[in-house]
Every structure is written in structure tokens, then in C-alpha cells.
């Protein structure tokens, strides 16, 4: 068995080297932790055309997945014109989900509606369906840049009534948006 001792010594040496380099590898990743979804955010389009608020509610303990609720507080004149052209007069809240795809970036999808508000004894009516999808990239723990596309569908694109455009539906309009976001801080 004289040939097995060098193999055993080599294996033990490799394990020891591996154990000794683990702390160094961990130390080199300090400050590079995973950004976390969650919190209250304020957003603005890069040209100032709209403003929104967003609540991100984590779905897992690592805050890698979250639900989203977005409310537009201000929107641009072209968006107001689009809404009015469909006979709508407001946006409802947008809802969706986000999932971290790497350390700094999440993929997200949002769905919202342009509605004609109710009158006495007349329920609100959905006139347009908006589906937004893209990326939320943290620039630090309290700021992010969002790059996404918005597909706009007529309400008739939801023939089965599930709230989403039916498979195979073609958007009547599609446009890109870049927004910036800032986490709402806890003030002293």
C-alpha cells in the first residue's frame, strides 16, 4: 500500500487549501451583496413626463421576488391624449411581480387599465389594457433605473375576461420608457 499514502496526502492538502481560501473568497465579495426588492419607491420618467409611486412587497425571505403596486400621480400630455382617445378618463393602479435576475437587476411585468369612471348606477369601464415589462436595475440600495416597454391593447383584446390580453392579441401601440426611482427614506 505504499502508493496510496501520496494520494491521501495530496487529497488532504487539496481540502486544506480549499478550506483556507474560502474566507478569502467570501471577503472579496463583501460589499457586493444582493440588492433586495421591497419598500416604497417614487419614480419619474427621464423627461419628467410622468410620476408614480410603487409599493414592493417581498414574496420570499431573501427579497428576490416581490409583488408590485404602482399608482401614477402625474402623466404626460401624450398619455392623457391616448387615454382620452379611448373614451377613458383615468388610470387604475398597476399590479405585477418582479424577480431578481442577478445581483443588481430584476425583471418585472405590470398590468394596468385606463378606465372610464363610473357615473350614478353605471360601473367603471375598462377601455385600454397596459402591459409593461422590462428591467429594474439598482444603481445603489436606494436608487434604480427602469428600462421597459409598454404594450397598449384595446379592452376587446381580453375576450375571455381574465384581465390580460388574450394569447395572440396584437398591441395597438408599443413604446419604450426609461424611468428613475428612489426609495422613500425613513427620516430622523
DSSP-derived secondary structure for 145-161: EEEEEEEEEEGGG-TT-
- Sign of the Cα pseudo-torsion (58, 61, 63, 66, in order): negative
pLDDT at position 113: 97
DSSP-derived secondary structure for 120-136: TTB--EEEEEEEEEEEE
Q: How many CB atoms lie within 10 A of CB 17?
A: 9
In the chain, domain spans:
1-32, 39-183
21-34, pLDDT tens digit by residue?
A: 333 333 333 356 88
Average pLDDT for the chain: 85
Is pLDDT of 101 > 80? yes
37-84, pLDDT tens digit by residue?
A: 999 999 998 777 889 999 999 999 999 999 999 999 998 888 899 999
119-160, pLDDT tens digit by residue?
A: 777 888 999 999 999 999 999 999 999 999 999 999 999 999
Q: Are 72 and 49 in contact (CB under 8 A)?
A: no
Nearest to 50 by CA among 7, 94, 104, 19: 94
pLDDT at position 31: 52
Q: For residue 90, give the C-alpha cell.
A: 383615468
pLDDT at position 21: 34
pLDDT at position 49: 82
Cα–Cα distance for residue pair 67/83, rounded to 1 Å:
26
CATH class of the domain whose range is 39-183: mainly beta
pLDDT at position 11: 43
**pTM summary value:** 0.80
pLDDT at position 6: 55
Amino acid at each position: 500500500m505504499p502508493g496510496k499514502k501520496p494520494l491521501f496526502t495530496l487529497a488532504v492538502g487539496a481540502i486544506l487549501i480549499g478550506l483556507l481560501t474560502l474566507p478569502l473568497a467570501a471577503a472579496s465579495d463583501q460589499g457586493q451583496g444582493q440588492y433586495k426588492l421591497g419598500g416604497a419607491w417614487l419614480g419619474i420618467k427621464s423627461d419628467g413626463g410622468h410620476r408614480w409611486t410603487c409599493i414592493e412587497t417581498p414574496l420570499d425571505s431573501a427579497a428576490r421576488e416581490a409583488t408590485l403596486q404602482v399608482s401614477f400621480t402625474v402623466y404626460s400630455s401624450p398619455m392623457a391624449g391616448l387615454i382620452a382617445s379611448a373614451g377613458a378618463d383615468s388610470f387604475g393602479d398597476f399590479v405585477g411581480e418582479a424577480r431578481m435576475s442577478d445581483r443588481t437587476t430584476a425583471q418585472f411585468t405590470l398590468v394596468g387599465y385606463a378606465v372610464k369612471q363610473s357615473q350614478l348606477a353605471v360601473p367603471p369601464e375598462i377601455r385600454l389594457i397596459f402591459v409593461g415589462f422590462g428591467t429594474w436595475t439598482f444603481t445603489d440600495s436606494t436608487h434604480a433605473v427602469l428600462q421597459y416597454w409598454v404594450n397598449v391593447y384595446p379592452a376587446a383584446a381580453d375576450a375571455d375576461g381574465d384581465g390580460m390580453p388574450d394569447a395572440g392579441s396584437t398591441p395597438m401601440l408599443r413604446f419604450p420608457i426609461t424611468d428613475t426611482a428612489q426609495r422613500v427614506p425613513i427620516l430622523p
